[in-house]
Amino acid sequence: MNGSIVLFGPPGAGKGTQASRMSKLTGKPQVSTGDMLRAAVAADTNLGREAKGYMEAGLLVPDEVIIGLISERLQQPDAESGLLLDGYPRTIIQAESLDEIESVSVVVSIEVPDDAIVQRIVGRRMDPETGKIYHIEFNPPPAEIADRVVQRKDDNEETVRSRLLAYHEQTAPLANWYGERGVLLRINGNQGIEEVGDSIESALLELSGKDA
């Protein structure tokens, strides 16, 4: 697969969790727009100051802000054989703009019902030293790092509702958009972490077999 792979799904679907295994499998560098934006907020750059309010309110950052960020990232030398895009595109406008500069080989859609999302997001924790994602119940951090894991500011029940609303209104229509282009791969995300990873891996291997 020569183009980029898009990881698609509602907030908390498990995109970040699956990304490192997929990155190893495909050799494509993982790029998370959420991580890039959080780094910009932490460094208090112009971009960070612009994005912060939207992120804390559970709203999408404006297209023109995020499109520039990804266009720049796609020009780096390691992006030549495509990237593993986690969390981008999230609007039709972002998808159209990506289409102009990069070929998308497959969109992996991790499908999880809304009622499972809130529980996943509220229990999410991150290890600030490694960036690894855990869940207090479904994937608990090892005892030796349990007191250093942190919870994201926007991972509370109220903000999750706004994020889900933004997802349904602005992002979900992309499934049809990519479906019409024949690149949408639907994966049942409502199973264990290993099982989701296995489903993605076998579907991608089958696709690359067809390519060859």
* Interaction site with ligand ADP (CB under 6 A): 9, 11-17, 33-34, 37, 54-55, 58-61, 66, 87-90, 94, 120, 123-124, 133-135, 138-139, 163, 192-193, 196
Q: Which residue lies nearest ligand ADP, judged by its C-beta?
A: 34
Please report how close the Cβ of residue 139 comes to ligand ADP at its closest, in angstroms.
4
Query: How far is CA 27 from each of CA 4, 82, 137, 178, rounded to the nearest angstrom?
Result: 11, 9, 31, 23
The active-site residue, picked from 28, 38, 90, 125, is 90
Task: Determine how many CB atoms are found less than 10 A away from the CB of residue 138.
Answer: 14
The active-site residue, picked from 28, 120, 124, 125, is 124
The reply to whether 21 belongs to the active site is no
Closest CA to 35 of 167, 136, 132, 140: 132
Nearer to ligand ADP, 11 or 82 (CB): 11
Please report how close the Cβ of residue 138 comes to ligand ADP at its closest, in angstroms.
4
Please report how close the Cβ of residue 101 comes to ligand ADP at its closest, in angstroms.
15
- Pairing verdict, β 4-8 and 104-111: parallel
The active-site residue, picked from 15, 28, 120, 125, is 15
In the chain, what's the furthest Cα-to-Cα distance?
48
> For 76, which DSSP code?
S
Nearer to ligand ADP, 23 or 208 (CB): 23
Nearer to ligand ADP, 173 or 192 (CB): 192
Nearer to ligand ADP, 127 or 208 (CB): 127
Nearer to ligand ADP, 28 or 163 (CB): 163
Cβ contact 85:178 at 8 Å: no
Query: Which one-letter amino acid corresponds to residue 32?
Result: S
The reply to whether 124 belongs to the active site is yes
The reply to whether 15 belongs to the active site is yes
Closest CA to 107 of 128, 79, 133, 88: 88
The active-site residue, picked from 73, 152, 161, 186, is 152
Cβ contact 134:125 at 8 Å: yes
What is the Cα–Cα distance from 203 to 173, expressed in whole angstroms?
A: 23
The reply to whether 152 belongs to the active site is yes
Which residues have a catalytic role annotated? Answer: 15, 90, 124, 152, 163
